[in-house]
Amino acid sequence: AQKITQTQPGMFVQEKEAVTLDCTYDTSDPSYGLFWYKQPSSGEMIFLIYQGSYDQQNATEGRYSLNFQKARKSANLVISASQLGDSAMYFCAMREVPVYNFNKFYFGSGTKLNVKP
Amino acid sequence: GAVVSQHPSRVICKSGTSVKIECRSLDFQATTMFWYRQFPKKSLMLMATSNEGSKATYEQGVEKDKFLINHASLTLSTLTVTSAHPEDSSFYICSAPGLAGEGTDTQYFGPGTRLTVL
């Protein structure tokens, strides 16, 4: 089964508007971490935001916020006031802590975000 | 923040040759590093976990003899693509786990290596 599911291969958003990128996950581990990364055309992976499974509040980092719904196993990324520089691939990832491989990450298939001027 | 470098950033080679990609943690020690492969417009696929001082752990479906991993020191892991073929052309990314005690337990990614096999 897929550990991380991103159902939106591509998204368009008007500059200055907010956009939500969907992510659902699957794990039986009670302790896990959820991450969002941005990958521009250069290929580098840029860390955006983190949500721990035991965190009570939704994570926020500047214009990024994570809508964490634990019961639904969803961790959607909200980007407010989109900028042209936000155009990139966005990956949702999950860290599990299995016994033999700590910090093992699973990535979703990604969402290509295009911000229109 | 912690920095991970990769070398080379881009390599073009002939079919049948072997290519070595280096991953270095520049300002911290990494007993574990991860190697990912990414096809164009696709997600990152974990290939293997590189462990300093012991054998790498490969994900299911990844050929151990094809993708040789050596974690020579606490700051260096290498991935060697042996007898490369065009289907091995891809973007290879390494990462190292964040330092113990960091709240996010994140990973620090290298900038990636684009391999093209002619």
Let me know: does A52 contact A66? Beta carbons within 8 Å: no
User: Rounded distance, CA B10 to CA B103, Å?
Assistant: 33
Ranges assigned E (strand) in A26-107: 33-39, 46-52, 60-61, 64-69, 74-79, 88-96, 104-107
Interface check A57 vs B, CB under 8 A: no
Task: Please name the member of B43, B57, B98 whose beta carbon is closest to the beta carbon of A108.
Answer: B43
Q: Please, which residues have CB within 8 angstroms of residue A54's CB and are 6 or more apart in sequence? A: A31
Task: Please name the member of A100, A102, A110 whose beta carbon is closest to the beta carbon of B43.
Answer: A110
Best residue of A32, A91, A99, A105 to probe chain B, by most B CBs closer than 10 Å = A105
Beta bridge partners of A76: A67
pLDDT attached to residue A102: 58
Q: Which pLDDT band, with edges at 50, 70 and 90, does B62 fall under?
A: very high
pLDDT at A96 over 80: no
| Poorest-pLDDT segment among A73-77, A82-86, B41-45, B57-61 | B41-45
What are the tokens at B88? 């091995």
Q: Which pLDDT band, with edges at 50, 70 and 90, does A31 fall under?
A: confident
Residues of B with Cβ-Cβ distance to A42 under 8 angstroms: 111
